[in-house]
Amino acid sequence: MSQQFDGVSIVTKANVYFDGKVTSRTVLFADGTKKTLGIMLPGEYDFGTDTKEIMEIQAGKLKVLVPGSDWREIDGSGTFEVPANVRFQLVVETVTDYICSYVQE
Amino acid sequence: MSQQFDGVSIVTKANVYFDGKVTSRTVLFADGTKKTLGIMLPGEYDFGTDTKEIMEIQAGKLKVLVPGSDWREIDGSGTFEVPANVRFQLVVETVTDYICSYVQE
């Protein structure tokens, strides 16, 4: 897992969702790709995707429900993918630190 | 106010305080300086400094007490400085998005 991203741009203003229980920062890469680094506090969340997303959990305990799959539990670290243009559900049990990659297909 | 920081490194793992009610991301600049981009949820917090800090509020409503000053209210945007090696108090009323610059003197 990456320790840091080098040679990037970071948008100074945060993305804030669910009254601040989910927040993220946008990181822009030289190749035109984008990731967000985010924090989710305990709670239940429903998100929608525009592009395919790869979610890499760096810390935290949570359950995720992606269309076509069963609920999956992640404890401490793990990765899951979400297709473009779907909704997915999360039940976050402990403070969760994630990296989300947006994949243009 | 900066829209984005370019040509920087960002540490992938978050800094997490107060059960996740305060979190930040560390941004490293080519000149060796460091800033954090952070979120504070409503609550009362007590922090200590190692270096002088310049806190730039990008969004949020809060009160701050820095040693030697009276309580000061910031609503929406504002900047305050905190000397090295002191403690300061914050009462955060709405989700607050900040940039903290660490100043070596």
pLDDT digits (tens, 9 = 90+) for A51-95: 999 999 999 999 999 999 999 999 999 999 999 999 999 999 999
In three state form, how does the secondary structure of A24-93 look?
EEEEECCCCCEEEEEEECCEEEEEECCCEEEEEEEECEEEEECCCCCCEEEECCEEEEECCCCEEEEEEC
In a domain, A96, yes or no: yes
- pLDDT, position B2: 56
In a domain, A41, yes or no: yes
Cβ under 8 Å to A: B residues 55-84: 58-59
In a domain, A4, yes or no: no
In a domain, A1, yes or no: no
Q: Give the pLDDT band of residue A2 (cuts 50, 70, 90).
A: low
Domain count, chain A: 1
In a domain, B4, yes or no: no
Q: Is B91 helix (H, G, I), strand (E, B) or coil?
A: strand
Domain enclosing residue A86, as ranges = 9-103
In a domain, B2, yes or no: no
- The answer to whether residues A21 and B33 touch, using CB atoms and an 8 Å cutoff, is no
pLDDT digits (tens, 9 = 90+) for B55-88: 999 999 999 999 999 999 999 999 999 999 999 9
- pLDDT, position B67: 95
In a domain, B20, yes or no: yes
**CB contacts, 8 Å: A5 with chain B:** 9-10, 12
Region B46-53 average pLDDT = 97
Instruction: Read off the CATH number of the domain in which A21 is found.
Output: 2.60.120.10
Question: Cβ of A9 and B13 within 8 Å?
Answer: no
Region B15-20 average pLDDT = 97
**CB contacts, 8 Å: A23 with chain B:** 23, 39, 95
- pLDDT, position B1: 47
Mutate to test the interface with B, among A4, A36, A95 (most CBs of B within 10 A): A4
In a domain, A68, yes or no: yes
The predicted complex's ipTM stands at: 0.93
